[in-house]
């Protein structure tokens, strides 16, 4: 048999009949259980060495205070951005240096993180963000996935009967999950300065939306 004959024979194969394409979704809300709080400070001086020293002093003091309450998973402590840049006038002449340093507190223990941030006097709160932990996200996705699959099966059964078939068999399917978060509050340094005293910073987490989509094709029979 020649290659041309094989190609023609392949093209002549019958196309699948009574195949139905469909999809189903499941959406749920889950409480965010992960807090990330970024504290920062800025310094300005005539030379880079002075700025760097001032930033290091402020960051070292903040780290010493934060490490007192650090607890793996509940409140992890890490440094963030540490940046130095020259300051120039309109003529391009170097007039000084400026820099910023950041410290990040993150974990599941919201009161511990908020109280620690309130005790740090050398940095101010720059940003607060909420998210889902891996465990919380996996649990939420599993629940939404189960509902989406049930919805897919129910819809496939209903459509099969409406088209006059007794049932269906699954041909192919794909499952996709997506997690969307609500608006994340941001606190500017000047506004947060008053809150960064030896008190707990007021915070409240929102809910994240977890959506699972199940799509595929079934053979009606």
CA–CA gap between residue 114 and residue 111 (Å, rounded): 5
Look at residue 11 in the predicted model and tell me its pLDDT. Answer: 56
Domains and CATH numbers, the chain: 34-131+184-204 (3.30.70)
Look at residue 162 in the predicted model and tell me its pLDDT. Answer: 93
Contact 192, 163 (CB under 8 A): no
CA–CA gap between residue 138 and residue 122 (Å, rounded): 37
Instruction: Dig out the tokens for 134 from the structure.
Output: 């891996």
What DSSP state is assigned to residue 46?
S
Contact 75, 114 (CB under 8 A): no
Taking CA atoms, 25 is separated from 79, 104, 136, 217, in Å, by 40, 36, 20, 15
Q: Which of 167, 174, 175, 146 is nearest to 219 (CA)?
A: 167
- How many Cβ atoms sit within 10 Å of the Cβ of residue 44? 12
Look at residue 10 in the predicted model and tell me its pLDDT. Answer: 52
Look at residue 192 in the predicted model and tell me its pLDDT. Answer: 42
Instruction: Dig out the tokens for 180 from the structure.
Output: 């969307």
Look at residue 52 in the predicted model and tell me its pLDDT. Answer: 96
For 55, what's the count of Cα atoms within 13 Å in the CB-facing half-sphere?
A: 27
User: Exposure string (b/e) for 3-12, b if CB count within 10 Å is 16 or more?
Assistant: eeeeeeeeee
Strands 76-88 and 19-31: unpaired
Full pLDDT tens readout for the chain, 221 residues: 555 555 555 555 567 788 999 999 999 888 899 999 999 999 999 999 999 999 999 999 999 999 999 999 999 999 999 999 999 999 989 999 999 999 999 999 999 999 999 999 999 999 999 998 889 889 999 999 999 999 999 999 999 999 999 999 999 999 998 887 554 444 443 344 434 445 566 777 888 899 999 999 999 98
Instruction: Dig out the tokens for 57 from the structure.
Output: 């002093």
Taking CA atoms, 84 is separated from 52, 54, 55, 96, 99, in Å, by 7, 12, 10, 11, 4
């Amino acid at each position: 048999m020649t290659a041309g004959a094989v190609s023609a024979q392949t093209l002549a194969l019958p196309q699948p009949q009574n195949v139905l394409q469909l999809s189903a979704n499941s959406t749920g809300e889950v409480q965010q259980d992960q807090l990330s709080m970024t504290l920062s400070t800025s310094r300005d001086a005539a030379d880079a060495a002075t700025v760097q020293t001032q930033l290091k002093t402020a960051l070292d003091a903040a780290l010493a205070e934060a490490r007192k309450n650090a607890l793996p998973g509940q409140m992890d402590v890490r440094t963030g951005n540490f940046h130095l840049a020259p300051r120039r006038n309109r003529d391009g002449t170097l007039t000084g240096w400026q820099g910023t340093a950041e410290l990040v507190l993150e974990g599941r223990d919201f009161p511990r993180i908020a109280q620690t941030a309130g005790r740090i006097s050398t940095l101010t709160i720059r940003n607060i963000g909420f998210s889902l932990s891996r465990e919380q996200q996996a649990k939420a996705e599993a629940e939404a996935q189960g509902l989406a699959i049930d919805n897919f099966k129910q819809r496939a059964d209903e459509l099969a009967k409406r088209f006059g078939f007794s049932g269906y068999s699954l041909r192919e399917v794909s499952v996709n999950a997506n997690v969307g978060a609500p608006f994340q509050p941001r606190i500017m340094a000047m506004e947060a300065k008053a809150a960064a005293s030896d008190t707990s910073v007021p915070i409240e987490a929102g809910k994240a939306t977890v959506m699972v989509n199940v799509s595929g094709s079934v053979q009606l029979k």
